Structure 1
């Protein structure tokens, strides 16, 4: 049985369709009360005598109908009170599901989703070319980048319904940019290993996938045969564990996308620091920092075809070791007063979500999970904990075993 009021009303309506309709009445026949079902058919009132053999079942079904109608009455009143919340955050009442990170899985209310699309409008207005956002793990960074990718990527330009109920759509400037800028998106979350060789294979696997998302370029009339041949060479090199193509791979893809679309692309890099954290804790830092420094230098500094970029991770790797020569970098850590609520749930969002999921436990939730302070913003809640709690309805420490703490231990 669903505890979501809207979904529960739908369940009740389906069950009411299965139950006998009409009103259960009693008539005195030969001095005894006998049950009848009274219905209106074609404007006429018709009564049916309930046979003795069916009586027990019918009485149970009509009792169920009465109880369901009463429940529906209360739920309808409750749902009416949610309209103002859902007007501003329309998918808080959707089904809560665990383990999804791609925005496409949440679109149009397929699943529970807290609207963070106002970040897109803030980012457009802010204007810095390269933005680094650091937040703890399981804070929604991957979902945020997925949302940005689908908003700008021309391949989704025919799907405004994905965003037309969300906050970004209310901003005219943002709306005018929907589906108009190519996007390169990759993640280094899989770049893990006990040595450089193993970790770099993970990075090449991610870059190979990144190229695979843009294979439509091989049919582009705006690209030369040499462009297409180099595209295939680069992707093939990642299959063959050839590391020589890594450092220019994103920069070159930017050039091809610019030639195809005539617009400089947005670059999104998720979990940029994972290979560096792994390298630091497992003893191959020098090799990994050399590769990453050159990749980021070529992508973000020596790249005439880059539009803008957003990088996310859990740590801020010092400028003098990775971003040492970038003079166009905005850093938004948990201590900075920018983009403070782009990841994580605000306390108001948690309160609204619990109400929309018909959960009356905000006091206990606050005592258990409380909130982080990010910049000036107090009480930012870890989404992983809140979503798991809404799914399981159990106050547990869901977040504690979601990642390795090797770096903290070593330090």
Structure 2
């Protein structure tokens, strides 16, 4: 069957907004929002293999919760049936959303510069709001300037001192809470990449010290935080960077909670193959790609299934 007039396949696309506005096929994982709210955890860590939809889910969470978001993105999706949740939570929170997937320097200084860039650029997203917010005092405006200040001698890289960098996410969340008068949701995708790369390149101890201080300040002693979601491929030992976090929930591949939200379930694969006229290939796809077990579910790697349909 021809795929003409069918939705496009989202090969490698991690933007929820792009998928929903540019007519790509979307496997609906939005009920994760309801479960995240109902199974409340102040800090939630999801560990899954690469290419299992972690970044797309984080993009979806940002689109749902962030003030000023496009509510129409969720029209017709399962979460739209949860009227009370949508009324109370959709578009109601300031959201800090960063990905650390590119913080992978060959040495500590390079990695630190890349981390400053990620956080500095996220702080710049709020420049028009915070640079002259009447709700911030002069000291707080100077704190914000420290987050977005650049060093012209270093080709415009962000010029955060160690103390500013380690407190940057906490500072930004505090400023956003004061401006919006709403607590902040924090999303950190691929949190483990800086540590994994540091371990490979020989500067692990320095990076652990930096990440421990950065995350402890924003996650442990932060009255501006509503809740946080972190994703990664690895569960870094809690003792290394999450010391003292008692508000911490870890959802690994063995956990039955949220097991259906990362990767495609058997029914989702059948539905997708049927949509693209490949119903006869269900058993072939199952034999080739059904090699993962999360919680109580057998799941497929989305990348593999989408690529198969795209061939």
Q: Which residue of 2 aligns with 1:162?
A: 73
Q: Deviations over 1:178-220 (max 9, x none)?
A: 1011110001111102211111121111111211221122242
- Residue 153 in structure 1 maps to residue 66 in structure 2: yes
Q: Structure 1: which 5+ runs fail to align?
A: 8-92, 393-411
Q: What residue in structure 2 maps to residue 202 of structure 1?
A: 114
Larger RCO of the pair (alpha carbons < 8 Å, separation 6+):
2
1:188 counterpart = 2:94: no
Q: Which residue of 2 aligns with 1:174?
A: 85
Secondary structure at the aligned position of 1:131 is classed as strand
Counterpart in the other structure of 1:372: 292
User: For the Cα contact (< 8 Å) 1:371–1:381, is it kept in 2?
Assistant: yes
User: Partner residue of 2:3?
Assistant: 4
Contact 1:181–1:266 (CA under 8 A) maintained in structure 2? yes
Shift of 1:322: 1.2
Aligned to 1:331, the other structure's residue is in SS state strand
**Cα RMSD for the two superposed structures:** 1.6
Tell me the equivalent position of 2:154. Answer: none
Aligned to 1:226: 139
- State the partner residue of 2:214: 295
Aligned counterpart, 1:124: 37
Does the residue aligned with 2:267 lie in a helix, a strand or coil? helix
The residue that corresponds to 1:357 in the other structure is: 276
1:304 aligns with 2:223: yes
C-alpha deviation, 1:109, in angstroms: 6.1
Instruction: Give yes or no for the alignment of 1:313 onto 2:232.
Output: yes
> 1:403 aligns to what?
none
Q: How does 1:69-80 map to 2 (within 5 A)?
A: none
| Maintained 8 Å contact 1:347/1:371 | no
Stretches of 4+ aligned residues off by more than 6 angstroms: none
> Residues 71-150 of structure 1 correspond to what in structure 2 (within 5 A)?
94-108=7-21, 110-150=23-63
Name whichever of 241-250 and 336-345 sits farther off: 241-250
Deviation, structure 1 residue 280: 1.3
How do residues 10-29 of structure 1 correspond to structure 2 at under 5 angstroms?
none
Pair member with larger Rg: 1
